[in-house]
Chains A and B, each alone.
Chain A
């Protein structure tokens, strides 16, 4: 099935309570699949087409505030509209899952795939100091797996989690093993798991408030300190990456998502030509595999970052390397997917020399 369809199936299977979305190419199959499957008749999951991405993300906020597994999905221009809501989710410490099946920008851009929303996602597209756990699937299987994982992480750390895919992963068809069915949590279970949820105030507890407003600067700083400490814990515990031919690599390529698939082929081509290349694929973009890349800075002669953008993640690779080896960038923009040949040529020209 398509990557987008895998997300819809996985959402139902992992006990998602509510999906709120607005159509936009190239991810409309997520809501279309959900509407086709009518999960309200089986698991009781709510699926609603909202009037805008702004409304969708705020519906997610409302659902998350009730301790419900709530999600939305969109593509780049739509996710730009959601930034206010994402900042509010972070500020109110609410768990939620947002899927961005990226397309080329800026502006209305193109419906072709892109990875140019890395900065927006990882550096905080909304206002204020917040971070969002970001998962970067590179296969249809990971679209399904990351949906389940995203909800687990969101509730573990009370934070919005982004699945940052691109149009290729959303549209391509692969075999997938769907996750096992988990029932939706009952209200009694939510009360235990999320004692902060607004489910109605019984006489024996204080009212629950979901808010992100603190007029006192000290209080606001305390919230920020709490968030920052949580982000450090996430950086310590949740880094995920995949390595391909890295052990003896003299040249390391760093790429995520669709670019990583292309680069894996380029690494095979390089090896066939006697060039000891390897690929490190970050699966979490925040937290970033800084330590692992730093480790490879000690054994490689140079690194190449490949992205479908003008070069965004490359900045984080350079921070990890901190000048020890050259870090070059190769990318295509505007919806163009680089070919393995392009990457192999770039590797030879920019790094191996």
Chain B
């Protein structure tokens, strides 16, 4: 097969989703934010929802999400994305409204907004990237940081007497009557990326059906913050993050 054969549209089996902007991303090599952005762009394109979608970006590594996915965006104050999404969805009920948040944003500073948006059953989708660390600010401890896990503010490893317990907020959100779909996925293998895509698609569909709040947690790596190579980060995630944050559906009604 020649290069010309490969780029021949008739032979094209894979392309950049049209809803994804053609700009370099600022994410570190090995980070899966880009993969998850691509999935969101792909799903919005496939659903034909570009004109109907409003994304809410967080404070954190994904603060610039609005540069990458070609839809209307609002960028929220740290942790407040579910409050913005609540108002947007209630004022524009026929739109697809989703937030994209990290663990610091969603599970620390924004805990109240997260829990109450879910408890009201806002018809929004929450994409929750959990890498157990504050990436943007340089690798500080997050509420989801594991026991013994080192970070710049837990340099000798997280300990219970000093820092308390890792917060499994997704499990907590699954308990709330307002949530309809709570799932935990990952994006480190082709198979897991496909499953995550299905999960996000379902979350988006749920919010358009008015079923309540959907949460898709994507257990992720932060090789820069974890100070591991991308490949070693994936191994570390499988061996350490997955036992604490097991993959699968926590709720699907």
Contact = CB atoms under 8 A, between A and B. Distances in A.
Interface of A: 17-18, 20, 46, 48, 50-52, 54-56, 58-63, 65-66, 68, 70, 84-85, 88, 92, 198-203, 207-213
Contact of B91 (A46, A61, A200, A203): A46
B95 A59 contact: no
A58 B51 CA distance: 24
Interface stretch (B80-88, B151-159, B184-192): B80-88
A202 B92 contact: no
B146 to A, nearest CB: 29
A62 B51 contact: no
Contact of B77 (A50, A66, A88): A88
Interface of B: 50-54, 56-57, 63, 66, 70-77, 80, 83-88, 90-92, 95, 112-113, 116
Contact of A212 (B56, B75, B92, B116): B75
A51 B84 contact: no
Contacts, number: 126
A48 B56 CA distance: 19
10 contacts: A50-B83, A50-B116, A54-B83, A59-B84, A61-B80, A62-B56, A62-B83, A200-B53, A203-B50, A211-B73
The 6 closest A-B pairs by CB, nearest first: A62-B84, A62-B87, A211-B75, A58-B83, A198-B72, A51-B116
A203 B87 contact: no
B87 A20 contact: yes
Contact of B74 (A17, A54, A210): A210
Nearest to B89: A62
Given A201-B70, A207-B71, A58 B76 contact: yes
Interface centre among A17, A62, A199, A203, by most B CB within 10 Å?
A62
Interface centre among A17, A18, A52, A66, by most B CB within 10 Å?
A66
A212 to B, nearest CB: 7
Contacts of A63: 87-88, 91
B34 to A, nearest CB: 18
A51 B70 CA distance: 32
